Structure 1
C-alpha cells in the first residue's frame, strides 16, 4: 500500500470541485504541532490558535470559493481529554468555513460497518478517498488514495447516514 503525506493529502483540497467530507473515528490524535497547544489547554493555559493557521487559511480559501468542507466526529462518551480540547477549538474550524457534527459512539446504528477497515477518511466529490493510516501509538503514517467505485459508494452511504443523525456543534454539549 502506498501512502501520501499529510501535505500531499492537503493538496487534494486545491483540486476538488464541490464537497470534501471527513469521517473521524478516533478519540485521540497524536498530531505533530498540536502537542504544545494541547498541553497548554490541559494545564489551563490559554494559547493562541496560530498552530491552526495553515489549515484554517486553506479551509477559508476553499469555502470562500463556494465549496463545502464537512466532518462527522464519532466520539466516545465520556470524552477523552483530546476530544474535550477538540470540541473547545472547533469554533476555529467553523469560523474558517467547515461544518462539523458530533455523533456519540453509543448512538451509532446497530450493525453499522465502517468501510476501509474502520479508518478515518476524507471523501472528495464523491469519487476519491484519502484513507488515514496510523501507527500503534496513534501517529499519522499517511493516507492511502482510493478511487474504487464500490468502496467510494460505501463511504458515500455511510457519510450520508451519519451526517443525517449527527448533531451540529452548536447543539452538541459535551
Structure 2
C-alpha cells in the first residue's frame, strides 16, 4: 500500500509506544525546507515557522508518553544539508521530545546490509514500516506501507544494532 507524505505523518497519531526513523540520505528535497535551507546558506536567521507543525506533533507525542527516535547515517565530511539539519532543525526537534543519534557511514558495522534497497524507513511499534520513496532529486514522493513480519523483524534487529552504535546528538561533532 502506498501512502502520501500526509498519510504517513498521520501514523504519528496512531502508534502507541515508539516510532523510529532510519535516515540514510545525505540530502532530502523537502519542499517546506527549500527556502529555510537557502536562507541558512546565505547566513540569514530562521524563525522556524515552516517547522512548527512537526515540532507540535512531536511535542504531543512526547507528552502522551510515546517515544520517537531517529538515527541519521551520514557521510563524512557532511553535506551542507546535513550541517543545516544538525544546526537548525535538530535542536528544536530534541527540545520537542525526539531522541536523535548520528552514525558516520564509515562506522556502520561491516556486516550490516540495509534492507529495503537501502531506503529510509519509519518503524511504528515494531509492527509497521513506512518505507520512503524519493525521486532523483531527493524529494519525498510518499511511503510504502509494509507489515510483513520477516521484513519488520529484520528492521527491528537493524534498528537495535545501529542505535547502540549511534552517537547521541550532544556528543556528535560535525566534520
Query: Alpha-carbon deviations, 1:53-72, whole Å to 9, x = none?
Result: 11010000011100000000
CA–CA separation in structure 1 for the residues paired with 2:135 and 2:32: 17
Q: Which residue of 1 aligns with 2:113?
A: 113
Q: Secondary structure at the match of 1:34?
A: helix
Alignment of 1:26 with 2:25, yes or no, is yes
Q: Which residue of 1 aligns with 2:11?
A: 12
TM-score by length of 2: 0.97
Alignment of 1:162 with 2:134, yes or no, is no
Q: Residue 98 of structure 1: CA displacement? A: 0.2
* Structure 2 unmatched ranges of 5 or more: none
CA–CA separation in structure 1 for the residues paired with 2:4 and 2:31: 13
CA–CA separation in structure 2 for the residues paired with 1:3 and 1:118: 18
Query: Alpha-carbon deviations, 1:87-119, whole Å to 9, x = none?
Result: 002001001100000000000110310111100
CA–CA separation in structure 2 for the residues paired with 1:3 and 1:30: 19
Q: Residue 34 of structure 1: CA displacement? A: 0.6
CA–CA separation in structure 2 for the residues paired with 1:22 and 1:134: 15
Q: Residue 136 of structure 1: CA displacement? A: 1.2
TM-score by length of 1: 0.98
CA–CA separation in structure 1 for the residues paired with 2:155 and 2:44: 39
Alignment of 1:128 with 2:104, yes or no, is no
Q: Secondary structure at the match of 2:84?
A: helix
Q: Which residue of 1 aligns with 2:76?
A: 77
Equivalent residue runs for 1:27-66 within 5 Å:
27-66=26-65
Give structure 1 regions of 4+ aligned residues with deviation exceeding 3 angstroms.
none
Q: Secondary structure at the match of 1:33?
A: helix
Query: Alpha-carbon deviations, 1:1-47, whole Å to 9, x = none?
Result: x4211110011010101000000000000001111110010011111
CA–CA separation in structure 2 for the residues paired with 1:63 and 1:139: 27
RMSD: 0.7
Work out the number of aligned pairs and report it: 173
Q: Residue 138 of structure 1: CA displacement? A: 1.2
